Amino acid sequence: MSLNPFTEVKDYPSMRTKLGLFTFFWFLGGILVLQNTIPGVARVLAMVPAKTKVVEVEFGVATVVIAFALAAVAYVAKLHDRVSDLFGIRARFDVNEILKPSALATGTPLSPSQIQKLRAKRLDLMGPVFYKFASSGKPIIDPHYITMALTQWSWYWVVIELNVVVGLVAIALLFASQFVWLSAALAWLVLSFLLLQPSEPTVPSTHFSRSNRLSPTRSALRRYPGFSVHYSVKGHIIKSENAAKPSMQASAYLCRWLSAQDPVRSAVDYGCGKLRYSGMLAAICRSLTLVDSSIQLDRSLLFDGTRTTVRAKAAATWPGCRVLSIEEFTISARRYDFILCANVLSAIPAAKARAIVLANTRSHLTLSGQALFVSQYRNSYFKEVIASGRAKVIDGGWLLHSARGWFYYGLLGPADLKRLIVRAGLVVKDCWSHDGSAYALCSGA
Ligand SMILES: C[S@@+](CC[C@H](N)C(=O)[O-])C[C@H]1O[C@@H](n2cnc3c(N)ncnc32)[C@H](O)[C@@H]1O
């Protein structure tokens, strides 16, 4: 077991050793601060004049002994675990980062009551779903992933235990009316609280493939077809990203509808395609998130005559907007005030994939959040194609072959749209049609 705190952490005992070591130094630092700011503490410590060295630095023996004793208590009591229990840190992580994504990855949309059940049975479920494959003792997945995850997590707990020490020091400083140092301690606590918020994968800095280093289950998620936007129908591969249209072909009615909405804090363009409606959303929200497949986000497309990618175009047009792959969106815990899902359900010929889109929308809405589903089911082009006999009519839509491959057009009128949405547990607040498109405005509960 290495005492070097910077070596990789391969198992739980090594993680605890590392934590113990750091916590000892945190207490040492904390006592030094108190010694230098509170005369009473300095007087008591001076009663033992002997000195000793810790990593070549001289400390009073009393300081070192007290720091060691406190660190030992923290080690035995598993301080990080107690903090986790108090704030529900691990419970949230297990549910949001492991169990929920694993369920969604298998194509199981989760209702709120099922999510409640996941929470209640978290400890029972983590064994068969996660530890069976990713325990450091007998891993089934590549042990390298486990080492990387444990190393990252150990740094997280190191900071958590530092915060406990800073909190204790802050209380002592408060009683001693040492407000300058107290402010510094409080500033640190606030800063680290903000930094330790569950991070959302942001693009371009964390593509899914990079963030999967944190958790082995994330890489497993990539293998599931629930996140692919390529569908197989009657032996034909439908590349649904090819159905996306440019902003020049936006529906004037939908643009008007969007711009008439009250501003919201956060909005998502789910299945953003070629950003046809993203600008309208950007105009009514403070924080815009765009979601589509990695294929769609990273391929080269023409925007106003210039070749670029959706990611690059979005970053240049709406600085600060977040661009997430479907996987990143699915596993993120963030919720939004408004989600637009325009012409996505009708581009998906698979019931399960549609159900995942609906479940994902529902689980990412804030309590008062709303989602608008749009589906075009009638227009002159549809009529012309069907009349020409070129289209293969299939259940609920039709297939068309062109030079760019096979296309699928699902015909979801208002009644079909409403039925799908209600089945997914969303509440339809309004459903209407306009000029061949069906619209459904929903809330999560
Ligand atoms: C017809 S385009 C609509 C694009 C855009 N919303 C619009 O109205 O212009 C369908 C989009 O849905 C995306 N898509 C297909 N399957 C999806 C899924 N399961 N989850 C999220 N997006 C999906 C495709 O990549 C494509 O960009």
Full 3-state SS string of 386-402: HHHCCCEEECCEEEEEE
The better pLDDT of the pair 292, 131 is held by: 292
The minimum-distance atom of ligand 1 relative to the CA of 249 is 9
Could you tell me if the CB of 357 is within 6 A of ligand 1?
yes
Please name the residue whose Cα sits nearest to atom 10 of ligand 1: 344
Residue 410 and residue 348 in contact, taking contact as beta carbons nearer than 8 Å = yes
Asked if pLDDT for residue 226 goes beyond 60, the answer is no
Q: Pick the residue whose CA is nearest to atom 15 on ligand 1.
A: 229
Backbone phi, psi, residue 80, to 5°: -60, -35
**Ligand 1: centre distance to CA 242 (Å):** 9
- pLDDT above 80 (res 283): yes
Local confidence band at 1 (pLDDT 50, 70, 90 cut-offs): low
Residue 361 has which token pair? 């929308």
Mean per-residue pLDDT, 378-402: 81
Average pLDDT, the chain: 87
Locate the domains of the chain by residue range: 12-195, 225-443
In one letter, which amino acid is 107? G
Determine the atom of ligand 1 nearest the C-alpha atom of 341: 6
Predicted confidence (pLDDT) per residue in 18-72, tens digit? 999 999 999 999 999 999 999 999 999 999 999 999 888 899 999 999 999 999 9
Is-contact 14 153, C-beta < 8 A? no
Q: Is 347 in the pocket of ligand 1 (CB under 6 A)?
A: yes
Coarse DSSP helix, strand, coil percentages of the chain, rounded to the nearest 5 percent:
55, 20, 25
Q: Is 240 in the pocket of ligand 1 (CB under 6 A)?
A: yes
Nearest C-alpha neighbor of 277 from the set 265, 264, 290: 290
Find out whether the beta carbon of 296 lies less than 6 Å from any atom of ligand 1.
yes
> Are 204 and 314 spatial neighbours (Cβ–Cβ below 8 Å)?
no
292 lines ligand 1 (CB under 6 A): yes
| Ligand 1, atom 2: closest residue by C-alpha | 244
Alpha carbon nearest to ligand 1 atom 8, residue: 342
Which of 353, 321, 356 lies closest to 336 in space, CA to CA? 321
- If one counts every other C-beta atom within 10 angstroms of the C-beta of residue 91, the result is 14
Mean pLDDT of 274-300: 96
Quick check: helix, strand or coil at residue 68?
helix
β-pair partners for 237: 232
Calculate how far, in angstroms, residue 294's C-alpha sits from the geometric centre of ligand 1: 12
Nearest CA to ligand 1 atom 21: 271
**Secondary structure of residue 54 in the 3-state scheme:** strand
CA of 295 to the centre of ligand 1 (A): 11
Ligand 1 atom 23, closest CA: 271
The per-residue pLDDT for 107 is 57
- Per mean pLDDT, which range of 186-190, 225-229, 330-334, 336-340 is the poorest? 225-229
Contacts of 10 (CB under 8 A, 6+ apart): 136, 143, 146, 147, 150
This prediction has a pTM of 0.59
389 or 163, greater pLDDT: 163
Establish whether residue 109 lines the binding site of ligand 1, counting it when its CB lies within 6 angstroms of any ligand atom.
no
Residue 426: DSSP 8-state: P
Average pLDDT of the segment spanning 343-358: 92
- pLDDT value of residue 287: 97
CATH pick for 225-443 out of 2.130.10.30, 1.20.1050.10, 3.40.50.150, 3.40.50.300: 3.40.50.150
Count of CA atoms in the C-beta half-sphere (13 A) of 219: 16
Distance 270 CA to ligand 1 centre (A): 7
Distance 296 CA to ligand 1 centre (A): 9
Q: Quick check: CB of 330 below 6 Å from ligand 1?
A: no
Report the alpha-carbon distance of residue 418 to residue 107 in Å, rounded. Answer: 21
Q: Out of 162-166, 292-296, 310-314, 402-406, pick the least confident.
A: 402-406
CA of 129 to the centre of ligand 1 (A): 30
Task: Identify the pLDDT of residue 268.
Answer: 98
Per-residue pLDDT at 262: 96
Cα of 240 to ligand 1 centre, how many Å?
Answer: 7
- Tokens 């991070």, residue located: 199
Structure tokens at 18: 């590392």
Residue 157 near residue 80, CB atoms below 8 Å: yes
Lowest mean pLDDT among 80-84, 169-173, 330-334: 330-334
Please identify, by atom number, the ligand 1 atom nearest to the C-alpha of residue 354. 19
DSSP H or E segment with residue 367: strand 365-376
C-alpha closest to that of 288 among 358, 347, 203, 376: 203
Element (H, E) at 292: strand 285-292
